[in-house]
Structure 1
């Protein structure tokens, strides 16, 4: 199944991410503490190394079939350790919310369906984690009441998408609102954000400074292409200022078709 809209698998307000020292939990070998769960740096490395290895193998195989030799850069996936931490923490928090609310999660997205867009073999755990997270976030989006649509939430989502090259940067609030239409996906994103922020407070979330700012994995449908991005958890009082604006990646002529609201 392909996404037909901006998927509201992104948070807009802050999760109030704590440093490891905030709760006396300060092991440099730990990437994140989520309640009673500990995600080690070794666990993050495991997922990351597996993704890089499987990606490189797939590239080598495709190159061999074409009689070519890939370069070192071509053998390296764009996946980062930060991406892995974002997924692990978001899945954990999302599962806790699902359990508390007695919701059911439907298996709608498989690694095989997401793999081509992720540019990652479906056997990679990274692709499997993405499939799990999309199902969880969609289950929550369908049940959480939509939040109020604010300029801050609209621009937070917009800047995150622009940073990933999914839409032309530099637009005004009015232009973004026009581009996003009724902004239903932003309302859903804000609602999910509030639920995740509440859950993070409950479990006393702590994240190694090495992996901050934390981000919620998300993706946007641009035509037949999925643009994957992460919306950073930023201070609720200023949900836009910590999101940088990249250089233009979409021409003005492409602007109206860049995002499917």
Structure 2
């Protein structure tokens, strides 16, 4: 588990947001609309099945104590996470195009697949890799020109890390500030979120209510390695400008 002194070095490579919008268009066979593009339930199934194909693979045999019970691995990803990724990636492509940003080669599909426990050739690993590299490209263009971080933003990132047990629970605001240093990465994440929300509004992005709230895939790196988690950014209000 990450300690406070180690969190100051983390770098956000995905988006965080709190806005949302509901679907005016509605077809049971469609998970989401991103402009004219549809993410169908069949596509979600294909991506989900492709990711799960390697989830039950048995790792290299290692000697275990006789008393240690065998643990059955859970799903590598969920259908919700597939929709989260596909919508966020679609919006991220729009943002990158508008900003004239090219993806950077921050990570490879093999690296992402190894961290997530999915096959490197799966569409999920390929799309997740593209999203991370797009995000890094957008962050690189931002540089240090980000607004001051707010207490609410610091607490939002902190709670998300607590949820996946990446940092200890129970920190007060002063401890969070100490752990996160200047908090520039938090502010940058929210700035990217604003760009995603703007792209969602411009493209009339809508999401099947069964997948709301929709979350953005997040990953931070620290001395302890990569930490993956999800945070809601489309929560179901009528416009993306509404804040929860």
Q: TM-score, normalised by structure 1?
A: 0.78
1-side partners of 2:82 and 2:52: how far apart? 12
**Shift of residue 177, structure 1, vs aligned partner:** 1.2
Distance 1:8 1:107, change over 3 A: closer
**Shift of residue 67, structure 1, vs aligned partner:** 9.1
2-side partners of 1:143 and 1:13: how far apart? 23
Distance 1:47 1:72, change over 3 A: farther
Aligned residues: 225
Distance 1:129 1:71, change over 3 A: farther
1-side partners of 2:13 and 2:104: how far apart? 16
Matches for 1:88-99 after TM superposition, within 5 Å: 88-99=86-97
**Shift of residue 71, structure 1, vs aligned partner:** 6.4
Deviations 1:96-121 (A, max 9, x none): 11111222122321111222211222
Distance 1:77 1:225, change over 3 A: farther
2-side partners of 1:12 and 1:153: how far apart? 10
Q: Who is 1:151 aligned against?
A: 151
Structure 1: give runs of 5+ residues left out of the alignment: 240-261
**Shift of residue 160, structure 1, vs aligned partner:** 1.2
**Which sits farther off after the overlay, 143-152 or 213-222?**
143-152
Q: Who is 2:125 aligned against?
A: 127
Distance 1:91 1:28, change over 3 A: same
Q: CA RMSD in A?
A: 2.3
1-side partners of 2:174 and 2:62: how far apart? 48
Distance 1:47 1:175, change over 3 A: same
- Kindly indicate whether residue 108 of structure 2 is the aligned counterpart of residue 110 of structure 1: yes
Distance 1:177 1:227, change over 3 A: same
Q: Who is 1:191 aligned against?
A: 191
Matches for 1:31-180 after TM superposition, within 5 Å: 31-56=31-56, 58-59=57-58, 62=59, 65=61, 73-74=72-73, 76-144=74-142, 145-180=145-180
- Assess if the C-alpha contact under 8 Å between 1:9 and 1:137 holds in 2: yes
**Which sits farther off after the overlay, 209-218 or 166-175?**
166-175
State the structure with bigger RCO (CA 8 A, min sep 6), 1 or 2: 2
Q: Who is 2:21 aligned against?
A: 17
**Matched residue of 2:54: which SS?**
helix
**Shift of residue 66, structure 1, vs aligned partner:** 5.3
Structure 2: give runs of 5+ residues left out of the alignment: 1-8
